[in-house]
Amino acid sequence: MSIIINGTGSYIPPKVKLNSAFLSNNFIDNDGNSFGIENQEIIEKFQSITGIKQRLYVSNDLKSSDIATEAAKKAIKDSKINSESIDYIILAHNIGDINYGTKQMDAMPALAARVKANLEIKNPSCVAYDILFGCPGWLEGMIQAKSFIKSGMAKRCLVIGTETLSRVIDPSDRDGMIFADGAGAVIIESSEKSGGILSNKSATYSNEGIVNYIYYGESNSNNIDKTKYIKMQGHKVYEFALSKVPNAMKECLDESGKKITDLKKIFIHQANLKMEKALVKRFYKLYDSEPPNNVLPTNIERFGNSSVATIPTLFDLVIKENYGGHKINNGDLILFASVGAGMNINALTYQF
């Protein structure tokens, strides 16, 4: 028995926000002080590091569970299954449903339960729950679904990543320009076909302050009203990722029994283009090798960082549209990898 992906879907938000839209922002540092340079210079430096030229936001009337539902509908349609046959709905997010114009999180009932209701699935044996695992949440949902299927507890799972980070961005935080919205979903199930999920690796590093590299908190020391926003210590995240993620990727690939030369594509969390390229380069260096051309699909340049939604969204685009000139053929080996709040890391190998 193998465990395969049998359908993909994504929701692409309609609102495009260019970097130039931030020119009038009053950017300040964590101490509440001005950076002392023009916004044009801040934005140009931001773009050179992250690769982001624009990001996508949802319309004001939609929430995370809404766009998750749309991505799920597309995945179900793509898989040609009866939605009543789904055993688990596993939904990854970080901030729940937040209405436009508010900062109040809403995660009860679970967003997965809301999606199940939206899909009008009546089967009570279809268990719906959320997972909070930072940006690697969707991939961890895949790993959990694989375990359910492998153990015999399930035959088919719907795994979703959804986020509306535009609702929790401080306009005075220059790192806030990185975040975006989106949703992606897949159906995974048991199959007699060959290939599928071959191996996986997960890890959590929460000691020595690492747990606070990405968090939900006050934007700066002068934040009088104590409003909380998504916050990130960008440089520390970058250094942490480079020190931990390539080794996890190697452990995962080695466990699969495949060789580095077998690898055709790497779908890595779309967090920062400079970091993605550095991670892949360091990963290949562990095998005394260089990354081949066209191994790394990216969409952060146009989509921004939608956290748990980045990988399933990009994966769906490549599968459906050969996005960015990337194509996956029968028999191809791919590697998924992610890093984010917690600090959590994971990786998974998959063969078509």
Same domain, 214 and 343: yes
Residue-level pLDDT at 286: 96
Average pLDDT over residues 248-275: 95
The predicted model gives 249-277 an average pLDDT of: 95
Measured distance CA(266)–CA(337) in Å, rounded: 8
For residues 60 and 236, which has the higher predicted lDDT (pLDDT)? 60
Q: What's the structural domain count of the chain?
A: 2
Is there a single domain that holds both residue 162 and residue 301?
no
Regarding whether 57 and 78 lie in a shared domain, the answer is yes
Which pLDDT belongs to residue 82?
A: 97
pLDDT of 226 above 80:
no
Query: Which residues, other chains included, contact 145 with Cβ-Cβ below 8 Å and sequence gap of 6+?
Result: 88, 90, 154, 157, 159, 188
Q: How far is residue 189's CA from residue 80's CA, in Å, rounded to a whole number?
A: 12
Task: Please state whether the predicted TM-score (pTM) of the whole model is above 0.85.
Answer: yes
Average pLDDT over residues 224-250: 86
pLDDT at 25 (0 to 100): 86
Together in a domain, 36 and 170:
yes
Residue range of the domain that includes 333:
197-351
Q: With beta carbons less than 8 A apart as the criterion, state whether 74 and 185 touch.
A: yes
Contact 158, 6 (CB under 8 A): no
Q: What span, in angstroms and rounded, lies between the C-alpha atoms of 256 and 139?
A: 17
Q: How many other CB atoms are there within 10 angstroms of residue 174's CB atom?
A: 20
Choice between 218 and 66, residue whose per-residue pLDDT is larger: 66
Give the separation between CA 7 and CA 282, rounded to whole angstroms: 32
What's the whole-number average pLDDT of the chain?
92
* Residue 144: band (very low, low, confident or very high) from pLDDT cuts 50, 70, 90: very high
Examine the domain organization and report whether 133 and 255 are in the same domain.
no
**pLDDT at 222 (0 to 100):** 65
User: 210 and 188: one domain?
Assistant: no
Same-domain check for residues 176 and 216: no
**How large is the average pLDDT for residues 32-47?**
84
Do 217 and 301 fall within a single domain? Answer: yes
My answer on whether 186 and 308 are in the same domain is no
State what percent of residues in the chain have pLDDT above 90: 76
pLDDT digits (tens, 9 = 90+) for 289-335: 999 999 999 999 999 999 999 999 999 999 999 999 999 999 999 99
Of 193, 208, 240, the domain-final residue: 193
Whole-angstrom distance between the N-terminal and C-terminal Cα of the chain? 14
On the question of pLDDT at 224 being above 90, the answer is no
Domain boundary among 172, 193, 214: 193
Contact status, residue 88 vs residue 157, Cβ threshold 8 Å: yes
Cα dihedral 17, 20, 23, 28 sign: positive
Do 44 and 155 lie in one domain? The reply is yes
The pLDDT of 221-241, averaged and rounded, is 78
**What three-state secondary structure class fits 23?**
coil
Q: What percent of the chain has pLDDT over 70?
A: 97
Helices (H), the chain: 39-50, 64-79, 111-118, 137-151, 234-256, 273-285, 300-303, 310-321
pLDDT at 65 over 70: yes
pLDDT of residue 235: 84
Residues 165 and 280 in one domain: no
Q: Is the pLDDT of residue 215 over 80?
A: no
Domain CATH number, residue 13: 3.40.47.10
Is the domain of 259 the same as that of 278?
A: yes
pLDDT in tens, 1-17: 899 999 999 999 999 99
Other C-beta atoms lying within 10 Å of the C-beta of residue 201: 20
Lowest model confidence (mean pLDDT) among 3-12, 116-125, 195-204, 234-243: 234-243
Domain final position from 161, 193, 225: 193
Q: How confident is the model at residue 104 (pLDDT cuts 50, 70, 90)?
A: confident
What pLDDT is recorded for position 220? 63
pLDDT tens per residue across span 158-206? 999 999 999 998 888 888 899 999 999 999 999 988 899 999 999 999 8
**Overall size of the chain counted in residues:** 352
